[in-house]
Structure 1
Amino acid sequence: MANILAIDTSTAWCSVALSLDGQAPILRHESVSAGASQLILPWVEELLHSSNSSLKALDAIAVGIGPGAFTGVRLAVATAQGLGISHALAILPVISLDAIAAQLVRTTTFKKRAVNYFAIAIDARMDEIYWAKYERPVNDSDLAKRLGDIHLCKPEDIDLHEIHFLAGSALDAYGSRIFTNAPAPFSETALDREIQLSALGLLDCGQQMLLNGRQCDVRDLEPLYVRDKVAFTTLERQAAVKP
């Protein structure tokens, strides 16, 4: 397997993982809110040092390109660009929901459910969610296949037809609103409210992307912006709280 460094700061968590020569990956993953910019490079150095390795030994960098927090996504992309240019490394741009799906299919909770199709839904703030549908992998070592694009909508407008398992932060953020138009009730055993994006999911996706030749030149790396509008204006916030 390839030597890959994975970094993600698209959420309130700063997440860095390193996989070398097929060994078990090592991970640094902590909730840091707005402090990721001060930690991301020291954590990269820490993981490389603890593995007696260096950036020169890497084959590629996997980076979370979103969707997610606007500033956080830009931070991860800029960090990957800097490291990639300075050491001539290939870049593996990983979509955040794909990384969560990669993690989900390896969990015991998901494996116990004999479902072919599932969805990932995460809180997009501004009373909206990002979501996508996936097909269960045939083999445990494979990745889930995303069916279509990443969507942005109100929680009530998610399409759950033919979906029998749902995971992501949108569940706790919006509760029953997610199931407003669901064709059938979801039991708690068909939900994963706890799963969160981490650099381990990026590693899984990155290994497969590199194997399939889907790396990109560092100069072509860009964030994935599903939403054009990234924040409410002051007047919009005031209007939202009026009785």
Structure 2
Amino acid sequence: MATILQIETATQVCSAAISRDGKTIALKELMANNIHAGSLTLFIKEALDLAGLQFEDLDAVAVSMGPGSYTGLRIGVSTAKGLCFALDKPLIAIPTLQMMAQGFMLQNPDYNGLVCAMIDARRMEVFTSVYNKALETVTPVSAKIIDEESFAQELSGHVITFIGNGAAKCMDVLEHENAKFSELNFNSASYMSKLAHEAYSAARFEDVAYFEPFYLKDFVLTTPKKK
């Protein structure tokens, strides 16, 4: 049996879950601004307590690798790497957008269209990728500025459900009859369980010393507007 700690901090959601053999057995999460640094380790401990486990009972640590919030990813990945070093456990990296698509498919098992996971970047830009029902990549991960022509080829032949915190701002732009939108949250460590178990079974582990989050774009420092 593989018992895996899973961490998701790519967006406003701070989430920690425990899975066993691909099934989520404990979850602690909250959606709020700027809580990751102060809450993640507490959520991890609470998830372990819910599962009746100690850190030493873990077989691996899985982390949502991005793209997403620069600060959130740094916090999640550094926490995961620190635990792997301390516990001498392997590190698993799960693509954030694929995790989101997995969550949608788990919630909608009879759905046969495509799913487009979107993470809000800035203005009309999103980090996005399109997946089919088997979680195979239809369009690769990219930073895309959304306009009326976005996804025109895919929408011409498929129903696409747009999900994630980047999807809401695109509703008024993507008005194709095949464009559907879900307002549910799919940034949850609980949706990593199947993917993390598959990676563990295939021994797809990261180099703990050198692994870095997948930011997709360089960090841009902005100056807050004066009130």
What percent of counterpart residues are identical?
24
Give ranges in structure 2 of 5+ residues lacking alignment. none
Counterpart in 2 of 1:84? 84
Specify the SS of the correspondent of 2:98: helix
Q: State how 1:179-218 maps to structure 2 within 5 Å.
A: 179=175, 184-186=176-178, 190-218=180-208
| 1:80–1:229 Cα change, 3 Å | closer
| 1:206–1:176 Cα change, 3 Å | same
* Partners of 1:54 and 1:119 in 2: CA distance: 37
* Alignment length (residue pairs): 221
Specify the SS of the correspondent of 1:17: strand
In terms of fraction of residues, the more strand-rich structure is: 2
| 1:27–1:191 Cα change, 3 Å | same
CA contact (8 A) 2:127 2:143 kept: yes
For normalisation by structure 2, the TM-score amounts to 0.87
RMSD: 2.2
Structure 2 counterpart of 1:173, one-letter code? K
Give ranges in structure 1 of 5+ residues lacking alignment. 138-143, 239-243
1:161 to 140, 147, 153: 153
Task: After superposition, give the CA deviation of every residue in 1:110-145 in whole Å (9 maximum; x if it has no partner).
Answer: x34332x332222112431111121212xxxxxx12
* Partners of 2:103 and 2:20 in 1: CA distance: 19
* Partners of 2:22 and 2:214 in 1: CA distance: 29
Deviation at 1:95, TM superposition (A): 1.4
| 1:210–1:147 Cα change, 3 Å | farther
Specify the SS of the correspondent of 2:185: coil
In terms of fraction of residues, the more helix-rich structure is: 1
CA contact (8 A) 2:16 2:29 kept: yes
Structure 1 counterpart of 2:177, one-letter code? P
1:171 aligned onto 2:163: no
Counterpart in 1 of 2:112? 114
For normalisation by structure 1, the TM-score amounts to 0.82
